[in-house]
Amino acid sequence: MLVGDRMTRDVVTVLDGATVAEGLRLMDERGVNRLPVVDAEGRLSGIVSDMDLRIAEAAGGLADRIRSVMTTRLVTISEYCTLEKAATLMRQKGVGGLPVVRGSQLVGIITDGDVFDAFTHLLGADQPGVRLTVEVPNSRTVVTLLDEITKAGGDILGLGIMSMDAGRRLLAVKVSGISTVQAQAVCDALGLTLTDLLEEH
């Protein structure tokens, strides 16, 4: 999944010549806590956060220009990068959102909330069903387990594999169409160890 699949395209921006007061009002009206800052030609020139503006307000700078309080050392991303890359960049740089650019033009914004939503969707967290986590020794076992689940009438809604310590790997699967009893039986028949098995509504 790419950044372009999950980013917000209708981005709320502020002109670099706007005042701090105007920026605060815009954030309040649109319910956002960060604003990409653009120049008159629509080129991205910075980003300003609610905290940046509140600090300026506390210092009596409501009439100051956004350009004087914005962050200009931007961390940006392309719409063609993966969500994993976006998540890694946000984590490394300690930011909650990344402007998405095509050249110097702002085409969207991707936030930590967008990434969280995508990953919970990939794991099927937003759908009812049976969620099981099982230790899997190799990829062949993953394929076999998924095949047996579908043979039992299950429909795979989401899945993820996580590497653990000592070479262990855990597979989390969200399934509809089968019960926890059936899921347990499939794992038992394959000699696999379940670490959790839940019915989620």
Q: pLDDT averaged over consecutive 10-residue blocks of the chain (201 residues)?
A: 95 96 97 92 91 96 96 94 97 93 92 94 93 94 97 96 89 97 97 95 88
Tell me which residue of 116, 126, 123, 131 sits closest to 178, measured CA to CA: 131
**Parallel, antiparallel or unpaired: strands 14-15 and 194-200:** unpaired
What digits encode the pLDDT tens for the residues 85-111? 999 999 999 988 999 999 888 999 999
Task: Go through the domains of the chain in sequence order and give each one's CATH number.
Answer: 3-118 (3.10.580.10), 123-200 (3.30.70.260)
What digits encode the pLDDT tens for the residues 169-180? 999 999 999 999
